[in-house]
Amino acid sequence: MSTRSLFTPRLVFGAVFIACLGLVLGALFLQHEEGLEPCPLCILQRYAFVAVGIVAFLGALHNPKGKGARFYATLVAVAALAGGGVAVRQSWLQHNPPVFAECGPGLETIVDSFPLAEALPMIFRGSGDCSKVDWTFLGLSIAEWALIAFAATLVAVVLVWVNAGRARRN
């Protein structure tokens, strides 16, 4: 069986959507049932998973071929790269916490109170909350697991990209 038949755009995008749905529901469970409050960087990662999930859902519904599959794969990759970048930043903060942990305002307060040019540096600077590791699984924090999930998403969309290129040549 060829990789082309195994990794159709619909199957890959559907799997990515289901994974994102599970990750966001898991994050909501940890927040509401386990009492783990998300920091601003955690919330940005959730937004990235939602963006990846929405685009993947649309890609699964549309089931594009060729350039269409590459278009959806590119959109998913951009959102996954953005989320992965945030996860890298948070992981770095967790391994290199600030000397003086300041618990700054929440994401909503920052976005509502400051212009975007001031809000973005404040968000990515992180806070004491962003460097704190409240939960681990197999020795990895939530941010590190999110980074793995974003990387797996990129691998999945590369499969779509490569197979879309093969379909055009055949």
Q: What is the pLDDT of residue 117?
A: 66
Residue 39 is predicted with a pLDDT of: 82
* Distance from C-alpha of 16 to C-alpha of 22, rounded to nearest angstrom: 10
Q: Is the pLDDT of residue 84 over 90?
A: yes
For residue 109, the cross-strand partners are: none
Please give the DSSP secondary-structure letter assigned to residue 136. Answer: E
Residue 67 neighbours by CB under 8 Å, 6+ apart: 164, 168
Residues 65/86, Cβ–Cβ less than 8 Å:
no
Can you give the pLDDT at residue 1?
44
pLDDT at 120: 62
Higher-pLDDT residue of 167 and 94 is 94
The pLDDT score that the predictor gives to residue 3 is 46
Rounded mean pLDDT of the chain? Answer: 81
pLDDT of residue 162: 78
Q: Which domains does the chain have, with CATH numbers?
A: 3-169 (1.20.1550.10)
Quick one: average pLDDT of 94-122? Answer: 66
What integer is the mean pLDDT of 67-77?
Answer: 91
- Higher-confidence residue: 157 or 54? 54
Rounded to the nearest 5 degrees, what angle is found at the Cα of 103, between the Cα atoms of 102 and 106?
140
pLDDT in tens, 111-163: 677 676 666 666 555 444 777 778 777 988 888 999 999 999 999 888 887 77
φ, ψ for residue 103, nearest 5 deg: -95, 95
Is pTM beyond 0.85? Reply is no
Q: Which of the four pLDDT bands, split at 50, 70 and 90, describes residue 100?
A: low
pLDDT at 59 over 70: yes
Structure token digits, residue 164:
């879309």
